[in-house]
């Protein structure tokens, strides 16, 4: 029962993140949804992913979103359609009905193959995976470069400021 309540909370805060007009509220709703998801993972016994979800997704990504929102304060001119408050509930209801009608029949055909647990988490993470770790290291470096680009000063304003300083 607690599992279902946590999943409902996760979907509710995700919907709030989509429908909220204020970007800051959207980012915070997304962080709360991540915390609900992490609690679901802890309930399943997946502690490693739960810790990652709380620290990286609820922490780091929220900080990145809030930084980006603070650096781009021209969001008042983006006029979202007012029809979302009517269209989205209809869309969501239709999706839920299709979900209930189709999901059981669709996923019931998946063969129940039991995979054998093979070793501890560390063995599987570091020994069984080989080449995709290289790709993952590349992805992490791409993220680091992107964060550097996020905080790079604007060339034009930076140049003007240094020129102004030289005159003084």
Partner 1 sequence: MNNLWLVDMGFVALLIGTGLYCLLTMRNTVKLLIGVEIIAKGVTLALVASGFARDNLVVAQCLAITVIVVDVAVIATALALVIRINRHTQSLDVRKLTKLKG
CA distance 20 to 15: 8
Of 45, 130, 163, 168, the residue at the interface with partner 1 (CB under 8 A) is 45
CA distance 122 to 61: 25
> 114 vs 167, which CB is nearer to partner 1?
114
Of 110, 162, 163, 167, the residue at the interface with partner 1 (CB under 8 A) is 110
Of 96, 158, 160, 161, the residue at the interface with partner 1 (CB under 8 A) is 96
CA distance 6 to 43: 10
52 is written with which tokens?
């990652």
- Within 141-160, which residues bind partner 1 (CB under 8 A)? 142-143, 146-147, 149-150, 154
22 makes contact with partner 1 (CB under 8 A): no
132 makes contact with partner 1 (CB under 8 A): yes
> 111 vs 168, which CB is nearer to partner 1?
111
CA distance 38 to 53: 6
One DSSP character per residue, 13-77 reads HHHHHHH-SSHHHHHHHHHHHHHHHHHHHHHHT-HHHHHHIIIIIIIIIHHHHHHHHHH---GGG
> 91 vs 161, which CB is nearer to partner 1?
91
Of 28, 33, 35, 39, the residue at the interface with partner 1 (CB under 8 A) is 33
82 makes contact with partner 1 (CB under 8 A): no
119 makes contact with partner 1 (CB under 8 A): yes
């Amino acid at each position: 029962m607690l599992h279902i309540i946590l999943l409902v909370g996760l979907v509710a805060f995700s919907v709030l993140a989509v429908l909220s007009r204020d970007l800051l509220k959207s980012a915070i709703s997304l962080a709360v949804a991540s915390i609900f998801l992490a609690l679901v993972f802890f309930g399943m016994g997946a502690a490693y992913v739960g810790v990652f979800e709380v620290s990286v997704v609820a922490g780091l990504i929220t900080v990145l979103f809030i930084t980006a929102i603070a650096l781009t304060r021209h969001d008042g001119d983006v006029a979202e359609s007012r029809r979302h408050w009517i269209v989205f509930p209809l869309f969501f209801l239709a999706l839920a009905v299709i979900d209930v009608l189709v999901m059981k029949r669709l996923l019931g055909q998946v063969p129940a193959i039991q995979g054998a647990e093979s070793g501890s988490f560390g063995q599987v993470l570091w020994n069984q995976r080989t080449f995709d770790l290289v790709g993952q290291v590349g992805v992490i470096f791409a993220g680091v470069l992107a964060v550097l680009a996020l905080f790079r000063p604007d060339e034009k304003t930076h140049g003007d400021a240094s020129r102004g300083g030289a005159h003084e």
